[in-house]
Amino acid sequence: MLINSTKDKAKIMGYKTLYLFTFDSNLTSYYSQLGWNTLERDIFQNRPIAIMSVNL
């Protein structure tokens, strides 16, 4: 899975946390199932977003 490869590479590079944002509110539950946590909901370019993070 691409997201797992990205997490693995970031961990090798020394990152402790990854962040993402999504415009699609349906994806927050998908990412939550993969271990991501919703940090905040906000507006970006007049559209609602969810800002999420995952510890590596």
pLDDT in tens, 45-54: 999 999 999 9
Global pTM value: 0.86
Q: What is the pLDDT of residue 19?
A: 97
Integer angstrom CA distances of residue 41 from 3, 9, 36, 51, 52: 21, 27, 14, 6, 9
Distance CA 44, CA 6 (A): 24
Conformational region of residue 50, where left means phi above 0, alpha means psi within -120 to 50, and beta covers everything else = beta
Q: What is the pLDDT of residue 7?
A: 95
pLDDT in tens, 5-29: 999 999 999 999 999 999 998 999 9
Distance CA 15, CA 19 (A): 11
CA atoms within 13 A on the CB side of 11: 9
